[in-house]
A and B are shown apart, each in its own frame.
Chain A
Amino acid sequence: MLPFLALLGLTLLWLLLPLLPAFRELVRPTDVAPLKVVDRSSGYVAYFARNFRQYLDRQMAALPGEAQVGDYVGKLPDGTQFIRVRKSSQGLTHEVEPGTQNRLVVVDGAMTLQDGETFLMEVYARAPMIGGAGSVYRAIYADRELGLGERSTVLRWAHAGGTMGVGSHSVLRGRITSDQAVVLGANVVFERIGAPRISVGTEHGIPPGDGFAAHPFALPEHAHPIGDHYRVEGDLEIPAGARVTSSLVVAGSLTIGPGAVVEGSVKAHRDVELADAARVRGSVVARRRVMVGDSAWIGGPVIAEERIRLGQRSVVGGPELPATVSAPLIELAAGATVYGQISAPLGARTF
């Protein structure tokens, strides 16, 4: 019996050997906390900017009196090195290397920064600020108007309480927000922008008025009603000047002709193309691409799973009708205007 018990013991031990990590994890857990569920909406674009502002307010409030005014080089209460300039950006001394600022910068007065500066920490501007051409910013928070020179780069986020102007050939990574408007130059590359109005160039589009002529369009016979919309198998083309009064789901591609109007929302399992001056009062959704012609208007969100192109002076949303444009890749022509938010994880570009 004893020899068998020895064999049994050895066999059990050998069997349990690979199970040791499992038993250890069971008895002395190393990974047993619930996943951290993030509180905020993923669509809240200004999240980091707001966080930074709250952080800085707390830090600045705790500074000694002499550090609160005038040019100053020192540390915030949490040890962060910072420099404040009031009159001129000449006061921005550089410790690491010329043109590179490794301290948090507080710009107290209206100022134009020098060209070619690199800011490794955040920049906080209390007054209107114009950044130099070719400058690189980790992040910027501007209480008022902000102008980014040509060929600027923002790495993480930028926010302006007033209007933000972005010079041509700039690269805006991360989140760009404004409480008023963002005006983009040509060949600007960005990922996410949120503002009451976002436009390419100084002229921006406005939503059309209600008075425009359009004749009713009869959907094809095979279109069938599903709840509050019609479904059409295959492709669908709405001719110029036609009006459709319901929402549409198209199994193929949808083309909305020049000046045509859809009073509801549209969805295509392939592409949606709005010709010049076409209008959709609701949202536009496509499994592949959405191509929006010149002076076209969309009242609601525009979602595509591949690409969106907004033509010249095309408009999405309105002053009282915020909307989101979202696709992996987005192109915006001069005059294209979005009231709300643009989100392009793989990149958006103005041209």
Chain B
Amino acid sequence: MRLALLIPLYAIVAVLIIYTVRHYLFTLNRLFGRHRQPYVDIGTAAWPRVAVFVPCHNEERVIAQMLDALLACDYPERQLVIIPINDRSSDGTSRILADYAGRFPVRVAPFHRKGGKPGKAAALKDAMEASDAAIHLVFDADYLPGRGLIKQLVGPFFDPEVGAVMGRVVPMNVNKTLLTRLLDLERTGGYQVDQQARMNLGLIPQYGGTVGGVRRTALIHMGGWRDDTLAEDTDITFRLILAGWEVVYQNRSECYEEVPENWPSRIRQIKRWARGHNQALARYWWPLLKRPAHLRRWAVVDGLLLLGVFAVGPLLLLGWVLAVALYYMGVQLSVGVYVILAVAMYSTLGNFAAFFEVAAGARLDGSRGRIRLLPFLIVGFLVSLVSVSWATLVQMATFWRKDQLWDKTERHREAGAMIPKETG
């Protein structure tokens, strides 16, 4: 009986150690390694035609500012079309989009969905045919791209192997609550260190579904967006990689986003991410493990670890349950086991970045003060851990269900609210 519990516990601890080592190596690489951002200096080019898709479902609070930001960008006007996807909005979104389409008839071309599957993935799938532009960029409605961002995101596509590009997401509403401050730390660890290290090492940066884009021919090559997934970003990342395309992360290409300001919003968001990510895990772990010829071994290893990032939470919880059970059985576990389980609680669940990775990212950002909040990571982690574990359990228990329940992230910004002053 003891062995039946000890073996899985040590397996779980081994998984945690692997992730800890992975994130430690990423941190070292980001701090001291050779930095790769080969496309960031492409400032002059014959810019290809770009379509910017903005999925909108009841986004009246934020969509106007988003469109203003896109219209102000320095990408050649004739080469850019903005396609807000009006996904059955019942608030003032339709009216706002009609207004912009009227004022900018060539540059803003709304796509209206009256029915069909709910969710961002389905919306993108339906709207894909609305443009034959070479590059399809995607922004969530609450984002605020800077003037130079579109050019920066398009630059990597001059590389014929690049199928998708991802920029860095920067929380704008950091100062609202403890949650927003913790999420800011999470994003810092995830983008400034994790994603960039994977780019440096030639591993698999993830396309994150916003502040990024996909090459149209790559999309067509793979049959377009899938609407049977809650994480179309993870899904397309792995389809691209397996098919021989490359995903590029560009740390310099930053864009403001709004993070959840209250716990219920955060819980809904993380549950959706977990379910979507677990779907991708189920679909792509085997094709990845079979290792297509073009993928390096380490890219496969990292890909598997990336796929498993939301499964680690439930594993950690299971590890604690096993540790508790073994405690009652009188099994004296090594102190190291408890230390690993305890240290893992001071991570960020979105990417399982360890506390030192978060601290390194904040330091590179020049944001030293917020590192003092590190002990509070356990606060956010506990909530995320329980939410993700519950979502995973429910998902496993209802795996036969094809329909997906899409939980839209709540918007908090007031329409017309001031955005952080951008320096040039």
Contacts and interface: CB of A to CB of B under 8 A. Distances in A.
Interface size on B, as a range, is: 35 or more
Given A38-B146, A40-B148, A194-B44, A19 B375 contact: yes
Contact of B158 (A32, A300, A343): A300
Interface in B374-396: 374-376
A21 B369 CA distance: 9
Interface stretch (A136-144, A199-207, A259-267): A259-267
B376 A31 contact: no
Interface string A154-176: 00000000000000000000000
Contacts of A51: 424
A227 interface: yes
Given A22-B375, A25-B370, A264-B160, A305 B36 contact: yes
Nearest first, the 6 A-B pairs at minimum CB distance are A43-B43, A31-B369, A41-B148, A227-B221, A340-B44, A343-B41
Contacts of A86: none
B368 A31 contact: yes
Contacts of A22: 372-376
B74 interface: yes
B423 A38 contact: yes
Contacts of A47: 424
A35 B365 contact: yes
Contacts of B369: 25, 29-32
A324 B44 contact: yes
A302 to B, nearest CB: 9
B400 to A, nearest CB: 34
B42 A32 contact: no
B175 A33 contact: yes
B247 to A, nearest CB: 14
Contacts, number: 190
A326 B42 contact: yes
B245 interface: yes
B152 to A, nearest CB: 6
22 contacts: A22-B375, A25-B370, A26-B373, A26-B376, A29-B369, A33-B174, A34-B170, A34-B184, A35-B170, A36-B421, A38-B424, A39-B424, A41-B148, A44-B43, A233-B293, A285-B38, A301-B45, A301-B155, A304-B38, A326-B41, A340-B45, A341-B44
Given A32-B370, A341-B43, A37 B424 contact: no
Interface of A: 19, 21-22, 24-26, 29-45, 47, 51, 192, 194, 226-229, 231, 233, 247-249, 251, 264-267, 282-283, 285, 300-301, 303-305, 321-324, 326, 340-341, 343, 345
A174 to B, nearest CB: 14
A288 B96 CA distance: 49
Contacts of B151: 41, 43
B173 to A, nearest CB: 8
Contacts of B147: 39-41
Contacts of A44: 43, 74, 148
A43 B254 contact: no
B409 interface: no
A305 B422 CA distance: 30
Interface string B35-64: 010111111111000000000000000000
A36 B423 CA distance: 7
B80 to A, nearest CB: 14
Contacts of B172: 34
A35 B370 CA distance: 12
A322 B423 contact: no
Nearest to B293: A233
B298 to A, nearest CB: 14
Given A37-B170, A39-B147, A41-B74, A322 B38 contact: no
A80 B148 CA distance: 31
B422 A38 contact: yes
A18 to B, nearest CB: 8
B161 interface: yes
A71 B421 CA distance: 40
Contacts of B372: 21-22, 24-25
Contacts of B420: 33-34, 36-37
Contacts of B158: 265, 282-283, 285, 300-301, 303
Nearest to A35: B170
Most chain A CB within 10 A, of B147, B161, B243, B369, is at: B161
A22 B185 CA distance: 14
B243 A39 contact: no
